[in-house]
Amino acid sequence: QLLEAREDREGDHTIGVDSSEYHPEKKWKSEAYVDAHYNWKSESDRLKKAKEAREFVLQRHSRTRALLTNHSPGADAGLGDDSWTMQSDGVRLREALAAQRRVFEIREGKLRAELEKSKDSGEGQKSLIHRLTRDLHVLKVVSAAEIDSLQESCEKSVSILKEEMNRKASEADFEVNKLEEALAELSRDFNATRNDMLAQLEAVKTKERDTIAYNKTLQREMRLEVLRREVLEEQITNIIAQWRQETDNLRAEIRAERAHTGRLELWISSLRDDVKNYLKIIDGRNAKIASMEQMFKDEVKALNFEIWKFMTSLHIMSMNVDHLFVFFCQRCVNLAGSRARYNDAPRGNRAVEIFTAFCKSPVPELRRLGAKVLAGLGWDGFIEERVLGWDIVQNWRRYVDRVIPIELEKLRKLGLTFEDKAPTLDPEETEESFEPNPDMTTRAMIRARRQWALRRVRRKEGPNEKNQELMGAAGANKGGGPHVIGTLLDLLVEKDDWEIQRNIALALSVTAYNELNANNLGRQQRVIEALVEMCYHQDIEVQMHAATAIANLSFQNPGNQERIGKFGGVQAVLSLCESRDVDVLEAATGSLANLVSQCEANAKIAAVGLEDAPVRHSNSNAFTSTGAVLTALNSDGTGATASTISVRPVATPVEGVEMGNVDTNVSGTGGVEILLRVIATARAANLTDVDQINETHANAAEALANITRYVGPNISLQIHAIGVGPLVLLCGSKNLQVQRHAALVLGNVSLSDEERELVGVRGGVEALMRLVEQRDDICMCNALWALANLAWDASNQERIGRYLPEILGLIHNSYEAIAVNAMSVLANTIYYNPDNRDRLFALEKAAYQIAMKTHDDNPKDMHESALRALVSLTFSDIVNHYISETRELRIVPTLVKRAGKDQDESVQRYALMVLINLCVDDGNKRLILQNKGVEMLVDAQASENAHVSALGEKLLGHLADIASAEEVARRKANFGIDGMIKLLVKGDSDMLRKLACETIAEEVWLQPAKQEEVILGGGLGPIMEIVRAHAEQNLDVLQAALWCIRNLSYENDGCKDLIGSKGGVEVLCEVVRATDPRGTPVPPPAAEGEPVETPRQPNAPLREQLLKIKEAALTAVLNVIADNQKNAQRVLRVGLDDLIEHSEIQVPLVHAGNSVTVQSSMGGGNKGPDAAAGGVDLTGVVQNDDAFTQTH
């Protein structure tokens, strides 16, 4: 506090005049510092007491040492600084105490206790020493003899004392160490406390300075506040004075207001009385207004009810034909006989005939009214018009009273009233509604709603056959009624009235919809001329109805088709096909499709086009009616004009010329060009009816299919103007009718060589295959027919070859036409196309499936196509061998039957061709003879067809060349080894080379001595060349050459060395390597830039033959390396890996003598493939292109 008071310069919290004392409740800022200083002082006092205790202990130790030195002379021996005596301990203690004096300040209480304990111990030691000294003196006096024992006792005592002293010293050392530790800890605590106190002191000083500055600021602010307070007090005084003055004024005003309020309360009371009176008046008026409103509502409801009754009655009468006729007759009854002018007016309108017809009505009311009108017409009476009007009103009221209760009862059953505006439509109108897709845009929704409405109308509308029959019947046949058609035709003289002509055309189209009417109308030249003339009318609706009438007249009616064509109907309809009105286009294309259906004359006229026809175009700006076009519906309900499509059979262009179907009169405005423009342009598009363009295109495609049926190759001149692209694109249409007809058009167009290639280039093959995938029988049939025509082009054959698996599967289709056309496609695709022939044979049992289609359980149309395919397939030796070896086919007996005289000439011709190709095998020749082949050949030679007769003679020549086994052996022996070698070198066919190899192999095996003759004659070289070119050789020739090498090298060291020196071992190993274990030979490397053909998996026969070739190659290798070290080393060098890889193929081994041979799969004794059968005659049949005549 003194420190704080010394630093106090302001004298805060002081009392007295001179501020010499502080206030008793003053809060000192330096209390923490004072406490710390007090603690420091206490610690200092305790440290001082610890020093005094240390000095006392040192003095005690000194006295103890001196005592021991005086009474125990040997006790001080060996004393030093490091000894265990108390002197050295004291020295170390003093040094430790000098270093740790601060510890004693902390442990003062403990040191005091220890000090007292040490004092007691020192007194005890003094008493012990005194007693020992006295005892020593007594002992010295008593007996010297006891000195030794006493000395011993003293030594023991000293030892015990030393031990006790040592123990005490140890305890003292322990305590000293503890004191030193406590002193060090106390020193650390002191330093920390001191540092904290200094920091607090510095903080207190800082706070003190801040407080002084703050106090100064507060004093200055206080002086300012005092001045402000004085100013405010003065202002408050002025305000109080003003307030008192205003209070007096307000008291006077309150008194005045209270008086005024009293007067207002009296006035308000009087006004309340007036308001009550007025409210009573208003309530009365409101009640009157409510009653008037209810009366008005009742009147409005009654008026609405009257209006509803009137409108409902009018609607019922207008929609009910019976009521309408009754109403008409009632009005006429009301007027008939009333006055002269009312009787004269009906006469001008032919009323007598009309009401005479009413008298024949089955309705009694109409008969009664008709008779009453006829009765009144004969007498001119006089009745006031007021009475006539009253009668009209009364009749109308009676009608309303009759029909309205019925309608009210209907509403009551529905739980409705007339105010609900219940629909009065027919229930059929509300049976379905349009439900748009939520994701549709507004534009798409409008189009979809329009399309839904149009399709709904087409589903609901239909012909009325009874009325059509009445309209088309003659008056004499129907009870004397008027002739409707004659009457309508009489009206055509009024050509200025286009509406009459439009309605007449519509009536004619409706009437012609009936088949009987169409026959009757078609015989009337007047009707046909009128319709043709109306096709050139300026009004597009007249054109549309006229074209529709022509379409209905010509529908499946050949007579009408010819008559319309003679009177220019085809040109008239073609001219309408150039119109830009979508309805006219639809009607015109449908009419043209019906006109040219199965009608060659009209088709030719349509192909010629508008060359001789007058040029008359419709007015595209005329009003377009939305009326329905009446056309016959197809079975699929597409709405296109139906007609029978007659498809031209598959034929070559040459045959087309022979049939007389080539039309050379082709013009630039031909029908094909016009119809292609209809298909290729957007003229037929209708945004409000998306089905209409499909129907128009279907009609145009159907017409094209029939037009192109009767024209030849020159049709390309017309198609060239636009191209075949639009026809190909038609195959992508979603309309089934368009797809069917597009395939027919492409098939007809493909009869032209130029267009056939162009169709393929434009993607026609792919488009037609897409139609084949549609799974519609007619569409598939038409598409396959078109593909058969396209297959006449080599490039198209390659394109169709990619789809052979799909087409092969279609020959088993249950729909007969599809199967027949699929077989035609196969036959045409492999015609003179080795690649497609290999692709087809590579398919699993393809040849087997085709051959089975020639049996009797298949349709006759299938036989011709299947035989044509077999002609192409049997041209290959592999297929020929496979068919011959597959006995379950019974192919030879079937072919003999197909070549019989009871078959068609085309079937006979193809069957004979297949038999000729099969005659390469002598076994087949014998089978032909065994199955009545001679009788068949006799009939074939007697055929009137030159082709059949020539083929029969050729086959007979082949069958006559069958020699016995002995004859074959004799001929071979006469030919000799040299002749066989020459045949092997100069042979120009695979069959001759194969025969030579087989003969040499057989001779060498039967007579081993001829091995040297063959080697010396140069036969080994040509045989090795055949094996060296294994990748390009015929498989049968390669197999025979390998067996020949095997037999030549058998136990012949010279031949083995010769084969090794010429690289024969490497060639044989290459043959083993080049043959895949699964039977697919690796193709030779292609030249640069040429495509590499991917190897195909062979079928079972080819796989078997390839395994036989591998067996022959391995057998040859085995004989070449037997007992020949060089050849064996060559095999180890070039072929060991391949041999290991192919070692899984199991070949039975046969041991003969000391050498190992391999049993041949081609006959006993390893003599070659034909040794057992007696060989093949050199004059056998050689297959060539002349024998392979094939037609489309």
pLDDT at position 127: 74
Residue 727 has pLDDT above 70, yes or no: yes
Residues contacting residue 344 through CB under 8 Å, at least 6 positions apart: none
Separation of alpha carbons 810 and 802, rounded Å: 15
> Mean pLDDT throughout 878-890?
73
| φ, ψ dihedrals at 1152, nearest 5° | -125, 110
Element (H, E) at 222: helix 145-319
Residues 139 and 96 in one domain: yes
Cα 895 to chain centroid distance, Å, stands at 50
- DSSP letters, 328-346, are HHHHHHHHTTT-HHHHHHH
> Mean pLDDT throughout 136-150?
62
pLDDT category, 89, cuts 50, 70, 90? low
Residues paired with residue 645 on neighbouring β-strands, in sequence order: none
Residues 947 and 1018 in one domain: no
Closest CA to 1145 of 1101, 1189, 1079: 1079
Separation of alpha carbons 790 and 763, rounded Å: 11
| φ, ψ dihedrals at 926, nearest 5° | -65, -40
Residues 925 and 1064 in one domain: no
Which structural domain, as residue segments, surrounds residue 1098? Answer: 979-1084+1094-1166
Q: For residue 559, is it within any domain?
A: yes
pLDDT at position 432: 64
Q: Do 492 and 504 form a contact (C-beta atoms < 8 A)?
A: yes
| φ, ψ dihedrals at 607, nearest 5° | -70, -40
pLDDT at position 254: 92
Residue 647 has pLDDT above 70, yes or no: no
pLDDT at position 79: 39
Residues 938 and 1030 in one domain: no
Residues contacting residue 896 through CB under 8 Å, at least 6 positions apart: 911, 915, 928, 931, 932, 933, 936
Q: What pLDDT digit, counting tens, does each position of 430-469 carry?
A: 556 677 788 888 888 887 887 787 777 767 777 776 776 7
> Mean pLDDT throughout 363-384?
78
Residue 476 has pLDDT above 70, yes or no: no
Q: Residue 861 has which token pair?
A: 């149309």
Q: For residue 2, is it within any domain?
A: no
Element (H, E) at 322: helix 321-335
Q: For residue 632, is it within any domain?
A: yes
CATH code, 923: 1.25.10.10
Residues 156 and 95 in one domain: yes
pLDDT category, 1017, cuts 50, 70, 90? confident
Q: For residue 173, is it within any domain?
A: yes
pLDDT category, 484, cuts 50, 70, 90? confident
pLDDT category, 765, cuts 50, 70, 90? very high
Residue 398 has pLDDT above 70, yes or no: yes
Q: What pLDDT digit, counting tens, does each position of 591-602 carry?
A: 898 998 888 888
Q: Do 996 and 989 form a contact (C-beta atoms < 8 A)?
A: no
Tokens 């006392």 belong to: 56
What is the crossing angle of helices 1035-1048 and 1100-1121, to 10°? 20
Residues contacting residue 353 through CB under 8 Å, at least 6 positions apart: none
Q: Do 136 and 154 form a contact (C-beta atoms < 8 A)?
A: yes
Helix (H, G, I), strand (E, B) or coil at 15: strand
Looking at per-residue confidence, does 260 or 975 come out higher? 260
Rounded percentage of the chain residues whose pLDDT exceeds 70: 73
pLDDT category, 144, cuts 50, 70, 90? low
Separation of alpha carbons 739 and 1091, rounded Å: 35
* Final residue before a domain boundary, out of 932, 960, 988: 960
Residue 621 has pLDDT above 50, yes or no: no
pLDDT at position 479: 39
* Final residue before a domain boundary, out of 687, 722, 757: 722
| φ, ψ dihedrals at 1075, nearest 5° | -100, 115
Separation of alpha carbons 941 and 951, rounded Å: 8
pLDDT category, 654, cuts 50, 70, 90? very low
Q: For residue 1114, is it within any domain?
A: yes
> Mean pLDDT throughout 832-851?
86
Residue 696 CB-half CA count within 13 A: 30
| φ, ψ dihedrals at 1151, nearest 5° | -95, 125
pLDDT at position 286: 92
Q: Residue 653 has which token pair?
A: 């262009």
Residue 1187 has pLDDT above 60, yes or no: no
Residue 103 has pLDDT above 60, yes or no: no
pLDDT at position 730: 78
Looking at per-residue confidence, does 800 or 40 come out higher? 800
pLDDT at position 83: 41
Separation of alpha carbons 332 and 350, rounded Å: 13
Helix (H, G, I), strand (E, B) or coil at 21: strand
pLDDT at position 687: 62
Helix (H, G, I), strand (E, B) or coil at 1150: strand
Residue 747 has pLDDT above 70, yes or no: yes
Q: Residue 515 has which token pair?
A: 């088949």
What is the crossing angle of helices 385-414 and 145-319, to 10°? 160
Cα Rg, the chain, nearest whole Å: 68
Residue 820 has pLDDT above 90, yes or no: yes
Distances in whole angstroms, Cα of residue 1038 to Cα of each of 402, 729, 1109 = 106, 50, 7
Looking at per-residue confidence, does 785 or 484 come out higher? 785
Q: For residue 343, is it within any domain?
A: no
Q: Do 803 and 843 form a contact (C-beta atoms < 8 A)?
A: no
Residues 901 and 1029 in one domain: no
Closest CA to 546 of 616, 464, 469: 616
Torsion angle (degrees, nearest 10) of CA 759, 761, 766, 772 = 20
Element (H, E) at 1011: helix 1010-1016
Residue 822 has pLDDT above 90, yes or no: yes
Residue 87 has pLDDT above 60, yes or no: no
Q: How many CB atoms neighbour CB 109 within 10 A?
A: 9
Residue 1027 has pLDDT above 80, yes or no: yes
Tokens 């706070």 belong to: 207
Residues 510 and 599 in one domain: yes
Residues 1014 and 941 in one domain: no
> Mean pLDDT throughout 925-940?
79
Residues 213 and 286 in one domain: yes
Q: Looking at this protein, which amino acid is placed at residue 1078?
A: R
Element (H, E) at 503: helix 498-511
Residues paired with residue 15 on neighbouring β-strands, in sequence order: 21
Residue 784 has pLDDT above 90, yes or no: yes
Separation of alpha carbons 535 and 1158, rounded Å: 89
Q: Do 352 and 388 form a contact (C-beta atoms < 8 A)?
A: no
pLDDT at position 1183: 31
Residues 127 and 264 in one domain: yes
pLDDT at position 240: 92
Residue 1171 has pLDDT above 50, yes or no: no
Distances in whole angstroms, Cα of residue 175 to Cα of each of 111, 117, 542 = 9, 12, 142
Q: Residue 898 has which token pair?
A: 């197909």
> pTM of the prediction?
0.50
Residues 675 and 816 in one domain: no
Residue 910 has pLDDT above 70, yes or no: yes
Looking at per-residue confidence, does 140 or 746 come out higher? 746
The sign one gets for the Cα dihedral 617, 498, 543, 446 is: positive
Q: Which of 121-135, 175-189, 369-383, 1152-1166 has the lowest mean pLDDT?
A: 1152-1166
Tokens 């609607």 belong to: 315
pLDDT at position 613: 43
Separation of alpha carbons 556 and 511, rounded Å: 16
Residues 600 and 675 in one domain: yes
Q: What pLDDT digit, counting tens, does each position of 153-181 carry?
A: 667 777 787 888 888 888 888 888 888 88
Residues contacting residue 538 through CB under 8 Å, at least 6 positions apart: 498, 618, 619, 622
Q: Looking at this protein, which amino acid is placed at residue 954?
A: K
* Final residue before a domain boundary, out of 666, 696, 722: 722
Rounded percentage of the chain residues whose pLDDT exceeds 90: 9
Residues paired with residue 14 on neighbouring β-strands, in sequence order: 22
Mean pLDDT of the chain: 75
Separation of alpha carbons 755 and 718, rounded Å: 11
pLDDT at position 974: 59
Residue 1094 has pLDDT above 50, yes or no: no
pLDDT category, 1012, cuts 50, 70, 90? confident
Q: For residue 610, is it within any domain?
A: yes
Separation of alpha carbons 566 and 599, rounded Å: 12
Residue 555 has pLDDT above 60, yes or no: yes
Separation of alpha carbons 121 and 114, rounded Å: 10
Strands 1149-1152 and 1155-1158: antiparallel
90-94, 573-577, 1068-1072 — which one is most confidently predicted on average? 573-577
1172: left (phi over 0), alpha (psi -120 to 50) or beta: alpha
Torsion angle (degrees, nearest 10) of CA 708, 714, 719, 724 = 80
Q: Do 826 and 862 form a contact (C-beta atoms < 8 A)?
A: no
Tokens 């009474």 belong to: 71
Separation of alpha carbons 757 and 1034, rounded Å: 33
Total domains in the fold of the chain: 4
pLDDT at position 726: 77
Q: How many CB atoms neighbour CB 1104 within 10 A?
A: 14
Burial class (CB in 10 A: 0-12, 13-18, 19+), 438: exposed
Residues contacting residue 675 through CB under 8 Å, at least 6 positions apart: 577, 589, 592, 700, 703, 704, 707
Q: Do 105 and 43 form a contact (C-beta atoms < 8 A)?
A: yes
Q: Residue 229 has which token pair?
A: 């307070």
pLDDT at position 91: 58
> Mean pLDDT throughout 626-650?
31
* Size (the chain), residues: 1192
Q: For residue 946, is it within any domain?
A: yes
The sign one gets for the Cα dihedral 64, 69, 73, 76 is: positive
Residues paired with residue 1151 on neighbouring β-strands, in sequence order: 1156
pLDDT category, 825, cuts 50, 70, 90? very high
Q: Do 741 and 707 form a contact (C-beta atoms < 8 A)?
A: no
